[in-house]
Amino acid sequence: MTDLQSNLSLVANEIESLRKRLERLNYEYYVLDNPSVTDREFDEMLRQLNILEQQYPQFITSSSPTQRVGGQINKDFKQINHRYPMLSLSNTYNKEEIIEFVNRAEENIGITDAEWVCELKYDGLAISLLYENGELIRAATRGNGVTGDDVTDNIKTIKSIPLHLLGNTYPDSFEIRGEVIFPHKAFEEFNAKRIENGEEPFANPRNAASGSLKLQDPREVAKRNLDCYLYYLIGDNMNEPTHFKRLQEAKQWGFKIEQHVRIANGIDDIMEFITYWDKQRDFLPYAIDGIVIKLNEIKYWNQLGATAKSPRWATAYKFKAEQAQSRLTNVEFQVGRTGIVTPVANFEPVWLGGTWVKRATLNNEQWMDNLNLCEEDTLIIEKGGEIIPKIVECRHDVHKEQNGELRKIRFIETCPQCGERLVKEEDQSGWYCPNYNHCSPQILGRFQHFVSKKAMNIESLGGEKMKYLLNSGKVSDFASLYELSEEQLIGVYTIDEEHKLSIQDKGAYNIVSAVEKSKNVPFERVLYALGLRYIGEVGAKTLAKHFENIDNLKKATIEELENVEDIGATTAESVYQYFRNEENLLEIEKLKSAGLRFETDKHNVKSTLNGKTFVVSGTFTKFTRDEIKKAIEENGGKNVSSLSQKTSFLIAGEKMGPEKKKKAVALNIPIITEDDFIGMIQ
């Protein structure tokens, strides 16, 4: 053996040793919850491995711990055929249905004392993982049960999922299925960051987990700290004859198996498990919505088989929507950036759905009236599948009701912040404060909207920083953001008794740089950023395209605004009044002077598709759906969300729904491919 070969052999051994060590440590931390080294020691080993792999790229493998987060954008998710159908469970809702299910299964297999396995039913996204020779080969969603989406790159970012298995007792090839979840703590932390950045929080962990796996950039998925519990192994050469033992064996290979899985002997054991977790589920670090019951002996699975949709050897018991009871303390009225006033009920803290809750929105005056909310009412609060609590019932004090002492809570008549009299438009359900320019929560809300990602995208100015700049007087209007210097920003500032804000050299540089970069934002997004009432992203694009510059829009009459497609009377009136306000006009002139763009870039807008409307459906190979929509607009066309007789073309990609195609044919709308569209714009 030559010296070079000897050296490479040593390097290969060192790399392999580091990988095995890191895989074991990862298992201890994310599966056993019992780390044997500090985070710093782990990071140092990972850094050493990364250095070696960069120096000797011939030794990099897809299952290396350094390859969890890839840098490649996945523009479309390939369809994968499941080796075994990925069925969904049938649901039961009471003890009688469980008794019926158990008796029917035992009768069909010819025994009366079958062993059952009870598991928690996670509220997440079902996933199937294929392993060959101990390495993760691919991951797929359920899809329609026969085919699913390939989400391997995104699944690799979940650190509790092993890329390479421990030991050597696993089969050469098998699938393991489970649920990707968004743990409560990680979900709340991620939502807090979204709010700080001026983005809408996710409604619940289940939808957020599902949406995360369809993100195109694995680096974004990695930021969400998802988790995964596995609960079902399937393959031709499995060692153990029972489901329970297979799960315990899988745990030794490195998989995260829930510790609360139990064997049950008969209905009483099953019901005891259900009753216990119906009460204890709030204390879990993740959401569950029921219990899964499976026959333990695998041989009976084959004997019972399955329907077209569900196995006959397993069922799911679904919990009722979670409810809690609390006492109303008061109702406060919050003012949003557009002036809308929202009533919020505050009540004594109560444990519900894994978190303490103490407030719930009452939406609007009509909602309050329907509840017949009175002072000191007892509230019934529910979460159901959502993370956001809602009040479903108000119970009055019986003694006060009998004595006529109930005091109904009325909606306020003046703004709780500035004292301005509230107004309500005929076709709107909510009251709002018209003091647009001088009501403090509206001002803060508009600034948070102005810097948000879909508007000016000044990412470095979220949450507390924006609040501090306003409260300290460092900014007074949007234009003053463009006058900030690094020297003005550097320092440590007190926000309130509990919060301090520190802006160091790098942070100040990032803020000033992001503000400067925002000057390149196109006109339609600048218009959206201004925060005109009733003008969203689509409305801003429509107005920018129609009027081409802010001066034309400023001079438009109500009639001219109403003549713009998709701009109704209420929106037209709102836009017209905005440009009658001298403070708003002054703001626009100052922003013009700061260098913001207030006219469309005519060089980038062609007339190839003028007068044509498009519906885009399915997935594509050369563009993302958003890229196709952008190309339509850049060539003078218009995107619409639904098919009608006015639609010019349906651009059809893979996985387009059959109903949409059927409707297009019925309406005689031309159906074109991605390549057809490219030909049109070329």
Residues 224 and 247 in one domain: yes
For residues 238 and 186, state if they share a domain. Answer: yes
Whether 649 and 639 have beta carbons less than 8 Å apart is answered as no
SS3 of residue 162 by DSSP:
coil
Distance CA 231, CA 248 (A): 10
What CATH number is attached to the domain comprising 633? 3.40.50.10190
Which of 344, 378, 402 is at the close of a domain?
402
Query: What stretches in the chain show pLDDT beneath 50?
Result: 1
Task: Give yes or no: residues 224 and 358 share one domain.
Answer: no
Q: Of 580, 604, 628, which residue sits at a domain end?
A: 604
Contact 351, 281 (CB under 8 A): no
Per-residue pLDDT at 245: 95
User: Quick one: pLDDT at residue 496?
Assistant: 60
| Total Cβ atoms within 10 A of residue 399 | 8
Q: Are residues 117 and 243 in the same domain?
A: yes
Mark 166-201 as b/e (b = at least 16 C-beta within 10 Å).
beeebeeebbbbbbbbbbbebbeebbeeeeebbeee
| pLDDT at site 666 | 85
The residues, ordered by sequence, that sit 6+ positions from 382 with a Cβ below 8 Å of its Cβ are 321, 322, 323, 324, 389, 390, 391, 392
Among candidate residues 78, 121, 279, 383, the one labeled active-site is 121
**Tokens of residue 592, six digits:** 């013009």
Residue with tokens 């009533």: 343
Domain hosting 56: range is: 3-67
pLDDT of res. 108: 93
pLDDT of residue 495: 61
Q: Are residues 163 and 283 in the same domain?
A: yes
Q: Is 121 a catalytic residue?
A: yes
Same domain, 447 and 588: no
With respect to residue 424, please indicate whether it lies within any of the assigned structural domains.
no
User: Do 510 and 551 fall within a single domain?
Assistant: no
Q: What does residue 610 show for φ and ψ, rounded to 5 degrees? A: -50, 130
CB 83 within 8 A of CB 175: yes
The pTM score is 0.59
Do residues 591 and 646 both lie within one domain?
Answer: no
CATH number, position 454:
1.10.150.20
Helix (H) or strand (E) holding 501: strand 500-503
- Say if residues 598 and 592 touch (Cβ distance below 8 Å): yes
Residue 149 CA neighbour count, 13 Å, CB half? 21
Structure tokens at 281: 């589920």
Query: Tokens representing 256?
Result: 């995260």
Q: Give the integer Cα–Cα distance in Å for 315 and 426.
A: 51
Our count of domains for the chain comes to 6
Instruction: Judge if 210 and 138 occupy the same domain.
Output: yes
